[in-house]
Amino acid sequence: MKSVWLLLVGLTVAPLSTSGFAQQMDFDKVQIITEQLGPNVYMLSGTGGLDPSHDDAAGGRIGVLAGPDGVLMIDSQYTQLTDKVLAAIRKISNGPIRYLVNTYIHRDHTAGNAFFAKQGAVIFAREELRDGMVRLSQAPNASANPVANPAGFPVITYGMGAPVKIRMNAEVVHFIPIRAAHTGGDTNIKFENANVLFIGDFYRNYGYPYIDINNGGSLKGMIEGLYATMKSADANTTLVPGHGTLIKRDDIIPYRDMILAVSDKVRQLIAQGKSLPDVLAAKVTGPYDPKTAGGTGASAERFVSAVYQEITGGK
Ligand SMILES: [Zn+2]
């Protein structure tokens, strides 16, 4: 039993390990696609069908606010794509890249930090995110891990208090801290005037929720984070997940309800004395599988394992 458990826990750390999925990807084939979401606000995504861990679009989404006051970026992609990301930004604006904020720690969102710091960006993130990077930089494989490169560490950090506000390009940008959800250092970023909200990866409509307990994520925080996200949006807000399709506020409701229903089922099975392999064998996500794009066995198992781990306290 123990070996199955360790194997599953191992799966949840893969995106941060140096032997992660990203290495198997042909980066040369990836194009960066730019889409305008509002006045001065853009979304940059990698092309689909190339990234084994995110088939919908390679790497994590990037947000860009551009105008006469310069450029603010959300997230920095895999290191192998930074030149292409910079080229895509340069098609929008030749202004200085002034600020970069990370939605959370995984490499598909932060590995390019050092590159953009060199372009002049001041990096903002949660204190917990920076702490996670410092821990990675002390690991034996640190030199091979772009997330552990001190040149890419956030310079300005914040906690769970009031959102940080950046005013530029006739926009008010809010960095809204989210309680431990996908990871321990999640941030939502809202463009007030464009009415666009970037929500990182604690919501996803490609595969099942990813609660990265090893990086401080939690089921409880994920549910709280979903309520907090709904509060930051109105019915017309465009919500931009780190992966998958754009959504509206009310699309969160069935997602939240699915998480609550699956966790209730897992809780019942645990109360009946079931082990993790028993719970996985019960296929508790079954009713949702046909409706979940990319809801492969591995994604469902990762989700259910994290729920099991949180409810049992890792026992
Ligand atoms: Zn991601």
| C-alpha span between 43 and 205 (Å, rounded) | 17
Q: Return the pLDDT at 22.
A: 46
Q: Return the pLDDT at 122.
A: 98
Q: Return the pLDDT at 182.
A: 86
293 has a pLDDT exceeding 90: no
How far away, in angstroms, is 277 Cα from ligand 1 center? 27
Phi (first) and psi of residue 217, to 5 degrees? -70, 160
How far away, in angstroms, is 252 Cα from ligand 1 center? 18
Assigned token pair, 173: 């940008």
| C-alpha span between 189 and 174 (Å, rounded) | 6
Tell the residue number behind the tokens 């990319």, with chain if given: 294
pLDDT digits (tens, 9 = 90+) for 16-66: 433 344 457 899 999 999 999 999 999 999 998 888 878 888 889 999 999
Mean pLDDT of 154-178: 97
Q: Return the pLDDT at 213.
A: 86
pLDDT digits (tens, 9 = 90+) for 131-152: 999 999 999 989 999 999 999 9
Is residue 169 within 8 Å of 66, Cβ to Cβ? yes
How far away, in angstroms, is 273 Cα from ligand 1 center? 34
Is residue 127 within 8 Å of 160, Cβ to Cβ? no
| C-alpha span between 278 and 298 (Å, rounded) | 16
Angle between helices 297-312 and 252-271 (to 10 degrees): 60
Assigned token pair, 65: 């606010």
2 has a pLDDT exceeding 60: no
58-72 in b/e burial notation, b at 16+ Cβ within 10 A?
bbbbbbbbbbebbbb
Q: Return the pLDDT at 55.
A: 80
Mean pLDDT of 106-116: 96
How far away, in angstroms, is 120 Cα from ligand 1 center? 24
In the chain, the percentage of residues whose pLDDT exceeds 70 is 91
In the chain, the percentage of residues whose pLDDT exceeds 90 is 74
Give the angle 115-120-124 at the CA atoms, nearest 5°.
80
12 has a pLDDT exceeding 60: no
Mean pLDDT of 193-210: 91
| C-alpha span between 76 and 110 (Å, rounded) | 5
How far away, in angstroms, is 15 Cα from ligand 1 center? 9
How far away, in angstroms, is 269 Cα from ligand 1 center? 30
Please, which pLDDT band fits residue 72 given cuts at 50, 70 and 90? very high
Which DSSP state fits 47? P
Bridge partners for 156 per DSSP: 124
Please, which pLDDT band fits residue 314 given cuts at 50, 70 and 90? low
Q: Return the pLDDT at 261.
A: 95
How far away, in angstroms, is 56 Cα from ligand 1 center? 11
Q: Return the pLDDT at 23.
A: 52
Mean pLDDT of 70-81: 97
Please, which pLDDT band fits residue 10 given cuts at 50, 70 and 90? very low
Mean pLDDT of 275-301: 89
Assigned token pair, 187: 């941030």
| Segment of 52-56, 213-217, 236-240 carrying the highest mean pLDDT | 236-240
Q: Return the pLDDT at 291.
A: 86
- Nearest CA-CA partner of 20 in 65, 68, 80: 80
Please, which pLDDT band fits residue 315 given cuts at 50, 70 and 90? low
Long-range contacts of 248-255 (CB under 8 A, 24+ apart): 251/205, 252/203, 252/226, 255/203, 255/205, 255/209, 255/226
Q: Return the pLDDT at 127.
A: 96
How far away, in angstroms, is 60 Cα from ligand 1 center? 5
| C-alpha span between 312 and 315 (Å, rounded) | 6
306 has a pLDDT exceeding 80: yes
**Higher-scoring residue by pLDDT: 295, 149:** 149
Assigned token pair, 108: 């598909």
